[in-house]
Structure 1
């Protein structure tokens, strides 16, 4: 039997990268999936690759007004859900002496505030015994120049997983985190990072030299980890974190 048979999942930022790969894996394991994205075009492109067991709604994690309608939009598709993967996020960096208030707010608004209030919208829809997975980062554990605000936003999610788990024990809803290291995703394109292709190549070479396994992780590898947390294989895990970084933070 498929691991997620008869389950319904919501994936924020499910229109690309880790989110899209996870949507594909969830569907392969028998789930119906609802993805969120910033605009209809990106959602439509993702849905074309997902097939009939997927739906999409517009919900920009940077826009609190859109987030406030998320529960209503999901309820129009299904009365209840079993799995939530909070995946929408951005990776932007600057040193403390150069960090602007606007960039600070953008990172925190999407990575933490957007995640928090998306969950607030979705909690009433989650069936008792359901699963919430938060996409965090190894940056919550390591020091890296320019990553202080990004790392703080991800550390906040790790703390949220533990505290929300404590709040939801009565409903048997478990909240766990996956903390990726360097993963090859559109989030890390030269355009998204605001650097040239040459700079991106040099940065990639520098990062790979620090990864014991000698390569970037893949979105498909992360999707299988998220599927483990979403499935009944992880029913004894609450507030747990799985670090997937090719040994970068441990060896």
Structure 2
């Protein structure tokens, strides 16, 4: 049985933990050569050791344009192209309306919107014919959450990018889709919400459980592979049904 990403070159930003880590693991299992990025070298080293196989880590800050340039220089030198770009790096923290600071706004938009935009734009010269770009969105693109309005807005912006970019890139044979998780068990969520809060979140999920990184990774493989060759510009919710009510 052939693997779905055989001989594909994939770059995953924010690939050392959570959804990015799950995707990196699945991509390697499906035959891809994978480059992951992240800010913490120690976490990157742990991810590479745990996943094994054809994977390489590049330390980089997703909000730094200089770091983005350096990542693509390395990828170009070592692989020559990108077949799958998973722009997954993101940042979130609470920011209650009425108390939102410039620092909170700038930090959230710099990583989630500005960083993502340039991560994709700077990859364009390396993206191969038929390549797939996956943007990590969120159910927050269409739902409001308390003290999360700035984060919500960044995810709505990402959704809008996909609609605009598929038109801008018409004729390039590059697919761009948004993968939007719902309530997903990740280290980031554990740091933000205690068990009681996570139990309340779980109670709202029609499928009756929290999502896992592997749930998102399986969907990412679908969007990265030829299985979705005629799909572009969509927002795929992987959320147990939460976004539908």
TM range (shorter): over 0.9
Matched residue SS, 1:249: helix
Is the Cα–Cα contact under 8 Å of residues 10 and 84 in structure 1 kept in the other structure? yes
CA contact (8 A) 1:33 1:55 kept: yes
Partners of 2:181 and 2:62 lie apart in 1 by 20
Distance in 2 (alpha carbons) for counterparts of 1:77 and 1:183? 33
SS of the equivalent of 1:130 reads strand
Asked whether the 8 Å contact 1:178–1:241 carries over to 2, the reply is yes
- Is 1:174 aligned to residue 175 of structure 2? yes
Partner of 1:232: 226
Q: How many residues matched? A: 244
Task: Give me the TM-score of the superposition, normalised by structure 1.
Answer: 0.94
Question: How many angstroms does 1:168 deviate by?
Answer: 1.6
Matched, 1:212 2:209: no
Distance 1:183 1:212 in 2: 14
Whole-Å Cα distance in 2 between the matches of residues 73 and 156 of structure 1? 29
| Contact map agreement 2:28 2:53 (CA 8 A) in 1 | no
Stretch deviating more after TM superposition (163-172 or 131-140): 163-172
Unaligned runs of 5+ in 2: none
Q: Secondary structure at the match of 1:98?
A: coil
- TM-score, length-normalised on structure 2? 0.96
1:11 is aligned to 12
User: Could you say what secondary structure the match of 1:71 adopts?
Assistant: helix
Secondary structure, in 3 states, of the residue corresponding to 1:79?
coil
In structure 2, distance between residues paired with 1:133 and 1:152: 19
Give the conservation status (yes or no) of the 8 Å contact 2:39–2:60: yes
Distance in 1 (CA, whole Å) between partners of 2:69 and 2:225 is 28
Residues 51-82 of structure 1 show CA distances to partners (whole Å, capped at 9, x for unaligned) of 23001111111323322322212212211110
The Cα shift of 1:128 comes to 1.2
Counterpart in 1 of 2:125? Answer: 124
RMSD: 1.2
Would you say the 8 A contact 1:70–1:118 is kept in 2? no
Q: Which region of structure 1 is more displaced relative to structure 2, 140-149 or 223-232?
A: 140-149
1:26 maps to 27
Kept in 1, the 8 Å contact 2:68–2:119? The answer is yes
SS at match of 1:169: coil
Partner SS for 2:231: coil
Distance 2:65 2:197 in 1: 33
Q: In 2, Cα distance between the equivalents of 1:43 and 1:144?
A: 31
Flag as ranges the 4+ runs of structure 1 deviating above 6 A. Answer: none
Q: Which residue of 2 aligns with 1:97?
A: 98
